[in-house]
Amino acid sequence: MSVYKREMSQSHDLVATRNKTLEREINLAKNIQTVLLNGEKPKLENDEVSGISIPARLIGGDYFDFYPLPNGKLRIVIGDVMGKGIPAAMLMILTRGAFRTAAESTRGPGDTLTAMNNALYSDLRKLNSFVTVFCADWDPILGTLSYSSAGHSLPEVIREDKQNVVIPTVKGIMLGGLPNQIYKEESVTLTEGDLVFIYTDGIIEAVNTDNEMYKVERLNALLKSVVAKNVEEIEQCVIKDLNQYTEGLPQKDDITMVLLKIGKESTDISSYNSPLV
């Protein structure tokens, strides 16, 4: 074998080795993200809660989390990092850390977003990125959902009789948008059978072969048709309808949803990580 051919062969082997190493590291990152996104869900005595995230690539930048609080409330968060793939996933991990830290020391969703923006702003500006976040506290004793938004869409809330619940609008700039932001809160009273569907825009912006978006109107109609089902069934109905609508087209954006369905009585939240006070 000539020196040239030998060098080319060695170079090819080196590239193949590096590619295999990169593939292993990406798969490890995917596994880490999967574990963080699919950790143990809080156990509710009567209410139901669930969440799922489907990345557009091997790993994604969407995020959801649940945090049972010492006062008996359940804190819920969902976020959408600008971008896709590994860079967005890294920022998602950063966002998760900021939420977990803020959840331990803040009184409500607005304070949580304020603390998260304070913690993340400098890093997000350096990286020229931002995160939209919706944060809510479910109080099973009072039957109220208090919430705040950092540039994120409000949830769809459907009554058991298939009527829409028009919830008060609350606006706030995305995390990383401006420093020293104060995020305001609103609240809504929920009753037995109500469904709260929180989501990222990968759902309503999914397109079909005619390049038409799925849109919130189709989502709302679907949720009304399946509101009597449990949260896992509703979750699967949304995924199935999205797949039928997009007709096998490649997924362009991460798809994430969190569902809360109100049961008949007050709920006991079994905390798996509540801080002591």
Q: What is the pTM of this model?
A: 0.86
Q: Which two tokens stand for residue 201?
A: 């825009």
194 close to 158: Cβ distance less than 8 angstroms: yes
* Residue 88: predicted pLDDT: 83
Domains, the chain, in order of start with CATH, read: 38-196+256-270 (3.60.40.10)
* Residue 86: predicted pLDDT: 78
* Residue 106: predicted pLDDT: 85
**Which 3 state secondary structure label does DSSP give 24?**
helix
Total number of residues shown for the chain: 277
Contacts of 235-241 with CB under 8 Å at 24 or more apart are 235/50, 235/52, 235/259, 238/203, 239/52, 239/54
* Residue 185: predicted pLDDT: 97
Q: What is the mean pLDDT of residues 153-176?
A: 96
Q: What is the mean pLDDT of residues 151-177?
A: 96
Strand boundaries in 111-158, DSSP class E: 131-139, 144-150, 156-158
pLDDT band at 224 (very low <50, low <70, confident <90, very high): very high
Sequential DSSP letters for 33-62: HHHHHT-PPPEESS-EEEEEEE-SSSS-SE
Distance CA 180, CA 194 (A): 35
Residue 249: count of CB within 10 angstroms of its CB: 13
